[in-house]
Amino acid sequence: MMYVHYEQAVEAMTKGLSRFMCSENAKHFAEIFAGNSLDGIYSHGMNRYPRYISDMESGICDPGVTEAEKVGGYGALEVYDAHFGVGPLIAEQMTARAIELAKAHGIACVALRNNSHWLRAGRYGLMMADAGLMGICFTNTCMNLTAWGTLEPSTGNNPITFAIPREKGSLVMDMAVSQYAYGKLEIMAQEGKMLDMPCGYDMEGRLTCDPKAIIESGKMSPMAMWKGSALSIMLDLCASMLSAGRTSRVIGLPADGEKGMSQAFIAIHPAAVVDMKAVQAQMEETIDFLHSLPPMAGSRGVHAPGEGLDRTRAKNRENGIPVTEETWARILQAEKENVQKIASKF
């Protein structure tokens, strides 16, 4: 593991992305990768950059498309088509539209089809919460999870996020429906570490804590067994129904390339209907109660999701963002290749 300062990471990734898109979009996209890692979400930050470069080179993602097209709407419900464009940039556009609609109507849902990987679900929930709204966002994925009752990859490790506005800093829960996100498996595999508990199967169908064996088999298991499986299936069907987009089955297996996800962005404006001062006071009392509980052995106690975000950001700003040597080498390689291609034109 090594440490890279945020500005250094943004600069290197911007140079690698600039052969695919204009400098403004390249920098913003680089800031998303680095920003997710800065927040401590290493599984959906800089480690995803090399894969995105590959997706743009192969055509899985069209880097020329950074805005979605509106294809339907009824009141505060709208549907867009991303046309396989740049996932995080388009997801931010959808989030901004959901915020705008919710502030006008009290609640809004923006559905999106045919998007590329949006990286970190919590980013879009936090955008809503920081705007004073509650946020619920979810996406389907390729079939990288075994539904309960089979050992075959058959549903997606479909992430969902809930975010709540808070005066002391927005709260956010961001989780996939496996015990570990796939990006976490990749990082653990690069570091040669084992998981704390089984999260999937090896090639022989045996539960294992070895992330390399799970990646090789492509057989991640759902959290909470049948409950995680049911949640995955319902998120998949809800996202695809709202957007008239692809289900995980149609998106296919990871080897096919994760292309054309269905996503939903739901924003709720609580201040339009409740006394937010009273609500915030009650929320703080609840969080204080959680903090007061005696911690179990080996635990730091109970905290609300996302409470430590500001501390993590400040720590990584000061000390640098932790990144594996393999990921940083691939980021620098993409930067070098772009510089060489630009030089070859002259």
Secondary structure (DSSP) of 128-172: HHHTT-EEEEEE--SS-EEPTT-SSEEE----EEEEE--TTS-EE
Tell me the C-alpha distance between 223 and 208, whole Å: 14
CA–CA separation, 315 and 294 (whole Å): 27
Residue 247 CA: distances (Å) to CA of 122, 142, 233, 239: 21, 8, 9, 8
SS3 334: helix
Q: How far is CA 133 from the centre of its chain?
A: 19
Residue labelled with tokens 């009273």: 278
129 neighbors 304 (Cβ within 8 angstroms): no
Query: Cα 178 to the chain's mean position, in Å?
Result: 14
Environment class of 337 (CB within 10 Å of its CB; exposed 0-12, middle 13-18, buried 19+)? middle
Strand, helix or coil for residue 175: strand
Q: Of residues 28, 44, 117, 269, which has the active-site annotation?
A: 44
**Is 5 among the residues known to form the active site?**
no
Residue count of the chain, please give it.
Answer: 346
3-class DSSP state of 72: strand
- Which positions are annotated as active-site residues? 44
